[in-house]
Amino acid sequence: MARDYQLKRPASGGTSGIDYAAELNEQQYAAVSAPPGRSLVIAGAGSGKTRTLTYRVAYLLDQGVEPKNILLLTFTNKASKEMMDRVRSLVPQDVSDLWGGTFHSIGNRMLRRHADELGFTRSFSIMDRDDQKSLMNTVIAACEIDTQGKRFPKPDVLISIFSLVVNTNDTLEEIVEFRYPYFEEWLEEIRRVEKAYRKKKIQINSMDFDDLLVLTLQLLQKDSELLRLYRKKFRYILVDEYQDTNHVQCELIDLLVGEGQSLMVVGDDAQSIYSWRGADMGNILGFPERYADAEVYRIETNYRSVPEILSLSNAAIRANRKQFNKELKAARASGVTLPALVPVEDPTTQAQFVAQRILDFRDEEGIELEDIAILYRAHHQSLELQMELTSRGIPFQITSGLRFFEQVHIKDVGAFMRFVVNRKDEVSFKRMVMLLPGVGAKSADKLWAGWGASDLAKEEGVPKSFSETLLALPAPKKAQQQWEQLAHTMDELVVGGEFARPSDMIFSILEGVYDDYMRGSFDNYENRRQDIEQLMSYGQGFNDVLEFLAQLSLMSAVDGDPSGSRAEPDPEQVTLSSVHQAKGLEWKVVFVIWLTDGMFPNGRVLEADDEDMLEEERRLFYVAITRAMNELYMVYPQINPKSYTGDVIQRPSRFLDDCPAELMEEWRVGGSW
């Protein structure tokens, strides 16, 4: 006959002594003290989401839950560290056995114990992006794909395609058809590369970041006994930013939860803005259906913004059909001003208004530059603003990417133009020709030697034609078709014995050569094309290409200081950021610029006429305006001067239609410069 014997929990050094009801608001306390089971916590912007999660962990520990039985999943290392540090400051016991980290770090932890079940050893390497590109080049070469005459996607693009396949649950055919339609003719070859890439990773005992999720899921699906052990271990699972989970992460959570484990997911459907990288808002919207017994908690007290900004935010998001309805309420007292709606004449005036208002804040109202941000839908929309801030000596930092003139594709286009006006510019010539397939450093040296020996290279003045000389040079066979196109494109940069206007040059370079290069080389082709179109628009203000190139060089020197003597960065800087990069941050003053249809919401979304895509754009607008603590300025130019089509009348963003007039104050910007 068996004898029962009960283990007692060892003394932990006492409970935290936290008065949860006193330290949390009513809604936060309800979520933190929720009984075991399945819980969905809808935490609005600025409502204390991190506080709620960390107090939930402390509450579980105070209830006698062992740290080893808790799994806390986050999306960033920063969030994970912040939460774990807060937990340690709240509770007296040792929490080193608590598994807290990003999805990828937890996946790595499991795979280090069990990778041999998947054909890897436990000492597998984790490849970063450069490692992946190097391996992809090896795989492409081994597949012996004939790319003669047509550009095959570069490793960066293939990596993005394969990542989307595993993170969205779409097929390779669907990803190529809907996101990369210009590669449909290469579909069979891409499939071969994908298969060879997967096989090669096992051969070299290496995983990429996607594998850390996908293979963890496969491991648990394959080994039921192992799954049972982890389900027994993780009795309480908590997930941060649940609205950003993709299908793999969602499946992994559902699998670990099983029938009996407690699960609490925290997120805000109104801030779901990452579908383009695989996030599926259906995970959070469908949570109550997947877990029929789930309790839904709402946390709606906002500690960030004044009531005037929150009233506008609530109105702005109300138009979305697919959402959990909630109404953010301000914990703060009323502010001094309503959110400002600022129509201005054109993009230049927009930049001038923002810059002058920033100086007003700094010099007259005592607001530090670091407490001010300018947000935009796409990086290229910051061009005029960067120039205006630079000319006024206002220091700024950019979180949405490199400064405009530092970007590789802007420098590539500039190389064509520099070589046209300076036929002795070896650096620009080599940068230009090395964009072509099959042209490496040695080929570029040979082409330069041939060019240097030609009569045209030695002549002064504006050349009559480039193509006759260029076509006589020994271009590699693989680049022959593109070389011919390059030669004829260079001819277009000279018109009637004079250099073409800068905007016309950029158009010829883009349509003749560079667009094809970008399609095959960059995974964010559309964004880069928009950057060059913005450069083209900027070039409309110049008739002299030398003056235009001088301005580019001066801006690059300010941006990058090629002398290498860049001074220490100013600790007080205005922040320029895309809205995607700004999520989770806050500033006292926020300017949202380019609020016009086609810019925000994005033109591709409007062309697609897809309601789900438009709703995500509206959520992005909501994220933008909820970054503001005290003052919000929504700015849009009424006219946009565009190349070749003349001035275009801009329609204010349709998202502004959802904002009642009484919740905003319209500013009329006058004056002249």
**Residues annotated as part of the active site:** 49-50, 240-241, 271, 627
CB-side neighbour CA atoms (13 Å) of 257 = 22
17 within 8 A of 58, measured Cβ to Cβ: no
Q: Is 305 left (phi over 0), alpha (psi -120 to 50) or beta?
A: beta
- Would you tell me the crossing angle of helices 172-179 and 155-168 to the nearest 10 degrees? 120
Task: Name the phi and psi angles at 16, rounded to 5.
Answer: -70, -25
Which residues are within 8 A (CB) of 266 and not within 5 positions of it... i.e. 6 or more apart? 31, 41, 43, 49, 52, 53, 238, 239, 240, 241, 242
CB-side neighbour CA atoms (13 Å) of 643 = 21
Q: How far is CA 345 from CA 268, 367, 391, 550, 649, in A?
A: 36, 27, 20, 27, 10
Q: Token digits for 445? A: 């040296």
Residue at 654: amino acid letter: R
> Which residues face 373 on adjacent strands?
575, 590
Collapsing DSSP to helix, strand or coil, 639 comes out as strand
140 within 8 A of 193, measured Cβ to Cβ: yes
CA distance 487 to 495: 15
CA dihedral 162, 167, 168, 172 (to 10 degrees): 20
341 within 8 A of 656, measured Cβ to Cβ: yes
Q: Token digits for 52? A: 């709620």
Question: b/e map of 96-106 (b: 16 or more CB within 10 Å)?
Answer: eebbbbbbbeb
- Cis preceding linkage at 10, omega within 30: no
Task: Name the phi and psi angles at 569, rounded to 5.
Answer: -60, 145
